[in-house]
Amino acid sequence: MTAGARTDNEALAWLRALAERFPLLLAELAPSPAAGTPRPGSPGSHRTGGGRAPLRLYVSDTLRDVTDGVVELEEAVRERLALRPARPAPVPVRLRRLAELLDRVADAPDLYAHVTSEARRMAGRCARATGDPEQLVRIPGRCPACDSVSLRALPERAVVMCVNPACRHVLDALHEEGSE
């Protein structure tokens, strides 16, 4: 597998993760009839207490940030590739259009890295807002700082670190790869 294909798969994987997680934000904002949340205009909707579900502003902020981020990312990619602007569309449609452009984006490594990084950032933000814990991946080997076998990768942050509470050493990925 070439470096370009590996990057392509990584970018596509993060775009897919974002496409899967984005609808969960919308579900988090939807009022739950089981929780007794009154609908606007219904009796009791003007009260400030009672059975209303608490407003989760961090979910609303995340929804806005991710929506704006996807729109800006698609616009930047299309501009860089000298394509005409795309018609406005919902986030899932924009993500699909971005995925369809990945072959052309692969010709510009810096743009590819930007698409991957932004998709990873937004997918991570969606996961945190919906309460998904960040995945830890065990890494073989020992921490260079404390010699424990506590190395873990945090893919959503693109970080490898020691999870030993006494150490918490963060590895420099570029430095570590070059020393092998």
Q: What is the pLDDT of residue 57?
A: 83
Same structural domain for residues 100 and 141?
Answer: no
Domain identity same for 82 and 148: no
Q: What is the DSSP string of 107-152?
A: TSHHHHHHHHHHHHHHHHHHHHHTTPPPP-EE-SS--TTT--S-EE
Residues sharing a CB contact under 8 Å with residue 50, sequence separation 6 or more, in sequence order = 36, 44
Q: Are residues 170 and 91 in the same domain?
A: no
Q: From CA 152, how far away is CA 57, in angstroms rounded? A: 31
Give tens-digit pLDDT for 20-37: 999 988 888 776 555 454
> What's the token pair of residue 84?
């005409």
82 and 157, same domain (yes or no): no
Containing structural domain, residue 145: 137-178
- Same domain? 170 vs 81: no
Q: How many helices (H) and strands (E) does the chain have?
A: 6, 4
Whether residue 75 is found in the same domain as residue 163: no
**Contact between 17 and 92 (Cβ < 8 Å):** no
Do 72 and 146 reside in the same domain of the chain?
no
Q: How far is CA 147 from the centre of its chain?
A: 32
**Can you give the three-state secondary structure of 69-107, one letter per residue?**
HHHHHHHHHHHHCCCCCCCCCCHHHHHHHHHHCHHHHCC
Taking a C-beta distance cutoff of 8 angstroms, is the pair 163, 171 a contact? no
The two three-digit tokens of residue 121, written as one number: 């950032």
Q: What is the pLDDT of residue 150?
A: 87
- In terms of domains, do 90 and 148 share one? no
Same domain (yes/no): 34, 113: yes
**pLDDT score of 176:** 43
Say how many domains are in the chain. 2
Looking at the fold, whether 65 and 12 belong to one and the same domain comes out as: yes
- Report d(CA 16, CA 119) in Å as an integer: 9
Question: Tell me, what's the pLDDT at 180?
Answer: 39
Closest CA to 22 of 100, 95, 71: 95
How confident is the prediction along the chain (180 residues), in pLDDT tens digits per residue?
344 444 447 889 889 989 999 998 888 877 655 545 444 444 444 444 445 556 678 888 999 999 999 999 999 999 999 999 999 999 999 999 999 999 999 999 999 999 999 998 998 889 888 887 777 788 888 999 999 898 888 776 777 888 888 888 888 653 344 343
pLDDT in tens, 147-179: 989 888 877 677 788 888 888 888 865 334 434
Domain containing residue 150: CATH number: 2.20.25
What is the pTM assigned to this prediction?
0.65
- What does the pLDDT read at residue 19? 93
